[in-house]
Amino acid sequence: MYLSRFLSLHALWVTVSSVMQHYPSVWGHYDVCKTQIYTEEGKVWDYMACQPEARDMIKYVKVTLDPPDITCGDPPETFCAMGNPYMCNNECDANTQELAHPPELMFDLEGRHPSTFWQSTTWKDYPKPLHVNITLSWNKTIELTDNIVITFESGRPDQMILEKSLDYGRTWQPYQYYATDCLDAFHMDPKSVRDLSQHTVLEIICTEEYSTGYMTNSKIIHFEIKDRFAFFAGPRLHNMASLYGQLDTTKKLRDFFTITDLRIRLLRPATGEIYVDEQHLARYFYAISDIRVFGRCKCNLHATGCKEENKRLLCECEHNTTGPDCGKCKKNYQGRPWSPGSYLPIPKGTANICIPSISSIGNPPKFDRIWPNISSLEVSKPNQVAPKLAMSTVSSVQVANHKRANVCDNELLHCQNGGTCINNVRCQCPPAYTGILCEKLKCERDPGGCSQNSGQGAISHRPLLLLTALLGATGLRIC
């Protein structure tokens, strides 16, 4: 009997030892990832949470127009000059390269003379509205890192809406309204981003700042990403750690800067005056010479690279994760629920690495043969890496108040450094950590500070705690 128990215990200890090899020396902290930050010297690399480098996302975009026949030139038509709206002898002809203005000219290299641009048909069907939807799709979740910039070759439209989608175009939400008269066009008071604050940064505004008609040097429309970042990172974006901390703990803020698609809804072309000149409708059309969208692949802080494969962007996932956004654990690495990486604690963050399932490491003895009273160890899933050890109970008031905001969960507000979320109301922290999300080392409060090995105590004791649980279940003791 003793020999049988010993062999069972030995097999389990081999399993536990194999699992523990996959835990980092410092629980979950990044040690190979880096990201770009802003300093007095400009952009530099610093070690932080894993995320791909920001890039020009227009290189990977697919564009569609609605209606599909809205591009000028089929059949050929004349339109008025950009600078002089009464010189109407210019021609758009889709069958002549020099006179064609297809959609891809919104994304070609600029700097050539004359400039290249996409152009719509003229407002020949007035008073029927001249509506155009330009949809930019990436087939990938991306996080915006710089202003969206749209350069018009015609006058900037009198009315326009910029929209975003987070579900590949199935649903849309407004990003910003643009109009020469916001109250008349959209029943909104005009605002600019400068009128916002940290508390109102997610407000959808209508701005009149970018909607003048025919004017020299007035061709550009912005959606200001950096000005919104500045509410958290400072006017010159020097405190990116503060911004990252906000993005990590505020899902709505993070989602605000995340897209899968953009849609530019052109609702009324530039008229330059209150009334439309029906005798010269060839003056009115849309023309766009350039669109710029800078961002990075969203990889849930589990990748430093993003590659193009079969005309699709894919994260080069690390930390035993997989999927286009590194949004799940690999097979045989589901020892605990998947969780995105974290920027916290600043500056190194927490990787939240997927760990092996026990079932993937050899063939350990069945739990019910060794732990007949397994419920006493609070094992909720047989494929967990280890049974949960007894923890203090949550107060009945906290349990009853189920409508309160979550302090922690498995989607975003995850407990750091190996902490456990208790009923979404508090984190049970390892001995070496403290804080709402177990993001702080206890030794930081001591006069002597933290030694080099601080933060590893909770990790180093895990195998011993687990072995103690195993021994207690088998009736053996460590002397």
Identity at 223, one-letter amino acid code: F
Dihedral over Cα of 270, 271, 275, 280: its sign: negative
Token code pair at residue 476: 């053996």
- Please tell me the predicted confidence (pLDDT) of residue 150: 95
Token code pair at residue 406: 């979550």
DSSP 321-374: EESTT--EEPTT--SS-----B-PSTTT-B-------GGGSS-PPPHHHH-TTG
Residue 188 parent element (H or E): none
Tell me how far apart the alpha carbons of residues 309 and 417 are, in angstroms, rounded to a whole number.
34
- Please tell me the predicted confidence (pLDDT) of residue 446: 64
pLDDT greater than 70 at residue 375:
no
Give the number of residues written for the chain: 479
For 328, counting Cβ atoms within 10 Å of its Cβ (0-12 exposed, 13-18 middle, 19+ buried), the class is middle
86 Cβ contact list (under 8 Å, min separation 6): 80, 280, 283
* CA dihedral of 386, 389, 392, 393, whole degrees rounded to 10: 60
Tell me how far apart the alpha carbons of residues 73 and 98 are, in angstroms, rounded to a whole number.
11
Identity at 21, one-letter amino acid code: Q
Task: Compute how many other C-beta atoms are within 10 angstroms of the C-beta atom of residue 145.
Answer: 19
- Please tell me the predicted confidence (pLDDT) of residue 309: 87
- Note the pLDDT tens digit of each residue in 442-474: 876 666 666 544 444 444 444 444 444 444 444
- Please tell me the predicted confidence (pLDDT) of residue 445: 63
For residue 110, name the pLDDT band (cuts at 50, 70, 90).
low
Tell me how far apart the alpha carbons of residues 145 and 373 are, in angstroms, rounded to a whole number.
53
In the structure, how many helices (H) and strands (E) does the chain have? 9, 24
Dihedral over Cα of 428, 430, 434, 438: its sign: negative
Bridge-partner residues for 291, per DSSP? 150
The 8-class DSSP code of residue 3 comes to H
- Please tell me the predicted confidence (pLDDT) of residue 387: 33
Tell me how far apart the alpha carbons of residues 164 and 67 are, in angstroms, rounded to a whole number.
19
Tell me how far apart the alpha carbons of residues 354 and 241 are, in angstroms, rounded to a whole number.
25
For residue 310, name the pLDDT band (cuts at 50, 70, 90).
confident
Q: Which long-range contacts (CB under 8 A, 24 or more apart) does 100-108 make?
A: 100/73, 101/71, 101/72, 101/73, 101/287, 102/71, 103/63, 103/65, 103/71, 103/134, 104/63, 105/289, 106/63, 106/134, 106/288, 106/289, 106/290, 106/291, 107/58, 107/61, 107/63, 107/290, 107/291
Q: Extract the runs of DSSP E, i.e. beta strands, from 373-425.
A: 420-422
For residue 291, CA distances in Å to 352, 366, 407 come to 37, 60, 40
HSE-CB at 394 with a 13 A cutoff on CA atoms is 15
pLDDT greater than 70 at residue 476:
no
- Please tell me the predicted confidence (pLDDT) of residue 449: 63
Least confident of 163-172, 318-327, 427-436: 427-436
